[in-house]
Amino acid sequence: MNECGDTCCSVESREEEPPGSPEPPGTNEPPSRFFTSPFNLATESCLAVAAPPRAETASDLPLIAVDRLTLAPGATSHRTAPVEVRWRRIPVTNQAAVRRWTADLVGTPSARRSSPPTQAFRQRFFADVTDAQWDDWRWQARHRIRTPEQFAHMLQLSPTEHAALLEGGTMLPVGVTPYYMSLISPDNPQQPLRKTVVPTTAEFTRMPGEADDPLGEDGHSPVPGLVHRYPDRVLLLPLDFCSTYCRYCTRSRVVGHGEIVPNEARLDAIFDYLERATTVRDVLISGGDPLALSDERLDAILSRLRSIPHIEFVRIGTKMPAVLPQRITPQLCEVLRRYHPLWMSLHFVHPDECTPESAEACGRLADAGIPLGSQTVLLRGVNDNVDTMKQLVHRLLMMRVRPYYLYQCDPISGSSHFRTPVSKGLEIIAGLRGFTTGYAVPTYVIDAPGGGGKIPLQPDNVVGRDGDDLLLRNFEGRTFRYPDPQLPMS
Ligand code: SF4
């Protein structure tokens, strides 16, 4: 099992340095600097009283009070742009005065935007954790729930969950961020989100047709960390770490094993290959979750890709907005917006993932000019009905995310409990098409085993032909004629 301190923190654990040393108490002419969010200024709860990034205990807070906020030139929102902050150190004991003073300056912070389950979970298991800590994605990564004891402490485990956690030996590690755990039912093993991240012994079952690498990616890897299956596009895997491990992951065979690390030699080999592969115009960075990389590392990778003239289009695949929305900081968005055209494929599977935190994360990415699409996997007992899927696609649109693909679950080893008949996917598409805007209807695809690529499937709306008329069925099941004469070949 991969430690956060391995892949993730070998990349990430370096604490951000504060932008400068606080002035001694009472100093009225403090330094003033531009920075994006090392003080979590973008979160409403921390807007008035900012906490230094290293603050780990309540007694550390607040050390610094914001004196004045000024947006960077041309910026329209403190959420998406660097902020000039004038600040001064004040005594910890005088917190009430700090709040009054800063509220006068920047307004009273609105109520925390967390869903009730998250608030209740924090109160129960992380009561001493400050907002600044909870909102810090590195804190979340460091405090992932990973051991059977931790799961048993927070959840009433079913016998099959308990056995799977104790026995281990599944292909995929176990790990859940505290934030995502807050969305999980403590006492209902059938809750959809719980099924996606808590293992059961069903993962030990192997069925005919399943494979560790059903898409045949390993056979199309010219250098480690790169899959080149189509002439014009490649998949770049910089790391195998994810903050939360989805039990149906297509890359279970590699994800979380700590073998794919973004070291210089590995990345150099990838970039050397891409410089020579002049047919490649499109790079998808996925993983593992590429947003588990530090801003600096991501910046370096994107910059190197952008220096290759024939690479026109860069995409990032990530589940962070769903499992660790705290990762989507204004600072990260500042990095990403430098590399347009940059698109993002997000990974949402259930409407319960569409929380205020996720909406804020997606809003920040969208404000940074990044087109957002969701790739959703069709999962038995999770989202395999029209009502759930309709709720999901509607909430995604509200979060400025276009439902892009609905994937038939790949036949990964140990995934039979998640797979549905293909007819279920067609039924869901038929239940969406015409009943909601076309923007909400994803393309249902099967990623063909063996490397055949994505094959779209849709309900058959062509009923037949009557002379020069094509007979078509609409979403209500009514038949219509469309004039379609068979013209002689010229
Ligand atoms: S986030 Fe993606 S790569 Fe990571 S475990 Fe989930 S499906 Fe796999």
Cα 421 to middle of ligand 1, angstroms: 22
* Dihedral angle of Cα 6, 12, 13, 17, to the nearest 10 degrees: 170
d(C-alpha 141, C-alpha 155), whole Å? 19
Ligand 1: residue whose CA is nearest its atom 3: 288
Of 180, 240, 249, best ligand 1 pocket probe by most atoms within 8 Å of the beta carbon:
249
pLDDT along the chain (490 residues), means of 10: 32 28 32 36 33 36 45 52 48 49 40 80 95 95 96 97 87 93 97 98 90 82 91 94 95 83 90 97 94 96 97 97 97 96 97 96 97 98 98 96 96 94 96 95 93 89 93 94 82
- Please count the residues of the chain: 490
Cα 247 to middle of ligand 1, angstroms: 8
Q: Is 327 an active-site residue?
A: no
- Measuring CA to CA, how many Å separate 390 from each of 218, 258, 456? 35, 37, 19
* Contact status, residue 477 vs residue 459, Cβ threshold 8 Å: no
pLDDT at 46: 31
Contacts 24+ apart (CB under 8 A), 276-279: 277/228, 277/234, 278/310, 279/231, 279/232, 279/310
Cα 190 to middle of ligand 1, angstroms: 21
Indicate the pairing of strand 83-89 with strand 32-35. antiparallel
Of 212, 239, 242, best ligand 1 pocket probe by most atoms within 8 Å of the beta carbon:
242
d(C-alpha 344, C-alpha 38), whole Å? 24
State the closest ligand 1 atom to the C-alpha of 242, by its place in the atom list counted from 1. 4
Say how many Å lie between the first and final Cα of the chain, rounded: 65
Q: Is 454 an active-site residue?
A: yes
d(C-alpha 431, C-alpha 445), whole Å? 16
Nearest partner of 297 among 5, 6, 3, 14, judged by Cα? 14
Say which DSSP state 4 is in: I
Ligand 1: residue whose CA is nearest its atom 8: 249
Say which DSSP state 440 is in: G
The pocket around ligand 1, CB under 6 angstroms, is made up of 242, 245-246, 249, 251, 255, 287-289, 319, 347
Ligand 1: residue whose CA is nearest its atom 6: 246
State the closest ligand 1 atom to the C-alpha of 251, by its place in the atom list counted from 1. 8
Q: Is 251 an active-site residue?
A: yes
* Contact status, residue 388 vs residue 351, Cβ threshold 8 Å: yes
pLDDT at 209: 87
Cα 456 to middle of ligand 1, angstroms: 22
Q: Is 246 an active-site residue?
A: yes
Contacts 24+ apart (CB under 8 A), 452-461: 453/229, 453/230, 454/405, 457/408, 457/422, 457/425, 457/426, 457/429, 458/426, 458/429, 458/433, 459/426, 459/429, 459/430, 459/433
List 9, 54, 99, 230, catalytic entry = 230
pLDDT at 104: 41
Position 88: which residue type?
R
Cα 269 to middle of ligand 1, angstroms: 24
List 131, 136, 384, 447, catalytic entry = 447
Q: Is 230 an active-site residue?
A: yes
Neighbouring CB atoms inside 10 A of 194's CB total 22
pLDDT at 75: 52
Cα 240 to middle of ligand 1, angstroms: 9
Nearest partner of 150 among 183, 186, 123, judged by Cα? 186
* Domains delineated in the chain: 4-110 (no CATH), 218-457 (3.20.20.70), 460-490 (no CATH)
Q: Distance of alpha carbon 461 from its chain centroid, rounded?
A: 34
List 4, 8, 242, 354, catalytic entry = 242
Ligand 1: residue whose CA is nearest its atom 7: 249
Strand, coil or helix: what is 466?
strand
Cα 99 to middle of ligand 1, angstroms: 41
Cα 454 to middle of ligand 1, angstroms: 18
pLDDT at 30: 35
d(C-alpha 437, C-alpha 435), whole Å? 7
List 54, 454, 473, 481, catalytic entry = 454
pLDDT at 490: 63
Cα 59 to middle of ligand 1, angstroms: 37
Of 285, 347, 379, 382, best ligand 1 pocket probe by most atoms within 8 Å of the beta carbon:
347
Of 2, 257, 289, best ligand 1 pocket probe by most atoms within 8 Å of the beta carbon:
289
List 33, 142, 229, 400, catalytic entry = 229
Indicate the pairing of strand 443-448 with strand 453-457. antiparallel
Of 193, 251, 405, best ligand 1 pocket probe by most atoms within 8 Å of the beta carbon:
251
The DSSP result for 6-23, as a single string, is IIIHHHH-SPPPPSSPPP
pLDDT at 112: 55
Q: Is 273 an active-site residue?
A: no
